[in-house]
Amino acid sequence: MVELSIFQGVSWNVVSDVQQLFSYPFMVNALEAGTIVAVMAGVTGWFMVLRRQTFAGHTLSVIAFPGAAAASLAGLPLAVGYFGFCGLGALALAGIAGSRRSLSGESAAIGSLQALALALGFLFVSLYQGILNGLDSLLFGTFLGITSDQVTVLLVVAAVTLVLVCVAGRPLFFASVDADVARAAGVPVQLLGFGFLLVLGLSVAETSQITGALLVFSLLVTPAATAHQLTARPGLGIALSVAIALAVTWLGLALAYFSIYPVGFYVTSLAFGIYVLVRLGRGILDRPRATARLAGATS
Amino acid sequence: MTAKAAAVRFEDAAVRLGGRTIWSDVSLTVAKGEFVAVLGPNGAGKSTLIKAVLGLLPLAAGSVSVLGRPAGQASGAIGYLPQRRNFDAGTRIRGLDIVHLGLDGARWGVPIPGLPSRARETERVREVIELVGAAGYAEEPIGQLSGGEQQRLLIAQALVRRPQLLLLDEPLDSLDLPNQAAVAALVRRICRQEQVAVMLVAHDINPILGYLDRVVYLAGGKAVEGRPEEVISSGTLSRLYGAPIEVLRASDGRLVVVGQPEAPFVHGDRHAHG
């Protein structure tokens, strides 16, 4: 067997390697946290991609960084910073969207907010002065040191948000694909828009705690975008989005455990790899069909 | 015509938006099961009229009743197709699901497969897709369909709850001529078959002329209604548009409008009888 220096302690025997993964409490916590986060990110990400709100989602993830830095500075649990700042960020984004300016004006305002968030994060890190050795993990994620209390908080927040998404599911879907018709049918489109931003903020806050603030998209966007490419059925799409998010999280955590590279890198690269393969496959599948349609239309 | 038989009745109605009177002294009636086109130049307030029927805009004067109730209280019995551009090519949602939303989209919760009510709904969705002739492509992502195909699915969505009144805002916009005529023929067939009153906003009269029962013409802040041959006459149209318009009668009895400011082409021979 070729010894790969980047993989350490791996026996290349699947059963014993998996047993080894589950033999440490910190690893069990990481797998539990990763599972909760993947399910939540898979569901909310699917709606975010459908609503074309990935820029808002990215801004929320950048806002998560000063949140975590401020919590470190104040000596509070990181989760307080993540949930607090992402919640406030979602309210700010809802305010921007609610002010009904043009779409370009809206994205400019969101972009400005994003720059401010990064600057604040840098300020808090500088103010901390002492050893903020967690900067890397704030930005790019870690699976070390997740406590079972943290897992409980993640689980409660995820459960509450998923219940909300289930209750609002169909009208939210309607408002996302066809806001004008939904409004005429009596769907509270604006309220759902605000509510969804809040749910998105909570999802980003959860995901940041595994992938780090800058790699949130690996779980929130890439699996969902892949699922949208794979199927046009809403129910199946959400299931696939969750399945892909779970697969890359579990595999990423396992690879990170046995290797010297960080978990964020693996989760992101795996998700990206699947996305590229699916895009290529979709391109090949759609070409003959599009040609057939065109031929049918002209005949 | 009794009040009971009217699908829509405006009485001396006026709408003001941002301090500007869009139209005033509008009195008109759309009877049940009637196909009425709302015509007029850009900015005449055609979409505003539809929104007033939906109860989305308050009247500055007069009244409007819809299916015997005040506007806004009959939304369950109205199918509405707003003015729109096409779905983005990246919208990877099946046409079938878009139609289904017309049935249950406003209901809280998530669809649960396997329920008997769900099966009944799916059956109704299939039926209405069949009715508009969209069965061949209802399973495709809607963003990848042509404008005409998308429009048929959206009409199916508006029809799926068996409305008594169908409001279609520029459904022919952005369609090529054969598709405009085909969709107009479809609307006419549905109007007769399902006994639905239809108000269809259009800005080119020619493709739909052969299918209409009556027209409402909006221009210069006023409205005129009547049978197509009464309203679409040289005198009435010239007055409404404030420009010389000539209306010719083709040998087969159809009306051809020449010199309409926005659509200066004649294509009366393309359309079959409805």
* Structural domains of chain B in order of their starting residue, each with its CATH number: 6-87+163-259 (3.40.50.300)
Which pLDDT band holds residue B271 (cuts at 50, 70, 90)? very low
Contacts of A35 (CB under 8 A, 6+ apart): A246, A249, A250
* Interface size between A and B, measured as CB pairs under 8 A: 77
Check residue A7 and give its pLDDT: 74
Q: Is A290 on the interface with B (CB under 8 A)?
A: yes
Provide mean pLDDT across the span B222-228. Answer: 89
- pLDDT at residue A2 above 90? no
Is the CB of residue A117 less than 8 Å from the CB of residue A58? no
Rounded mean pLDDT of chain B?
85
The residue ranges of DSSP E strands in chain B, in sequence order, are 6-17, 20-31, 35-39, 61-66, 69-70, 78-81, 165-169, 197-201, 214-219, 222-226, 246-249, 255-258
Supply the angle between the helices A222-230 and A263-298 in degrees, to the nearest 10: 30
* C-alpha angle A169-A175-A178 in degrees, rounded to nearest 5: 130
Q: Cβ of B26: how many Cβ atoms within 10 Å?
A: 26
Check residue A131 and give its pLDDT: 57
Q: Is A3 on the interface with B (CB under 8 A)?
A: no
Give dist(CA A246, CA A38) in Å, integer: 5
Cα separations in angstroms, A52 against A198, A221, B69, B97, B195: 16, 10, 38, 19, 39
User: Which of A140-144, B158-162, B202-206, B263-267 is least confident?
Assistant: B263-267
Provide mean pLDDT across the span A53-78. Answer: 90
Find the CB nearest A228 among B80, B92, B111. Answer: B92
Cα separations in angstroms, B196 against A254, B166, B217, B227: 61, 7, 21, 18
pLDDT digits (tens, 9 = 90+) for B10-63: 999 999 998 899 999 999 999 999 999 999 888 889 999 999 999 888 999 999
Distance from the A32 Cα atom to the nearest Cα atom in chain B, whole angstroms: 26
CB-CB neighbors (< 8 A) of A185 in chain B: 75, 80, 102, 105-106
Cα separations in angstroms, B243 against A50, B20, B117, B178, B238: 47, 23, 56, 29, 5
DSSP states of A229-277: HH-S-HHHHHHHHHHHHHHHHHHHHHHHHHBSS-HHHHHHHHHHHHHHH
- pLDDT at residue B269 above 70? no
Contacts of B22 (CB under 8 A, 6+ apart): B15, B16, B45, B48, B221
Q: Do A178 and B101 touch (CB under 8 A)?
A: yes
Find the CB nearest B109 among A169, A231, A286. Answer: A169
Which pLDDT band holds residue A101 (cuts at 50, 70, 90)? low
Supply the angle between the helices A54-74 and A103-128 in degrees, to the nearest 10: 20
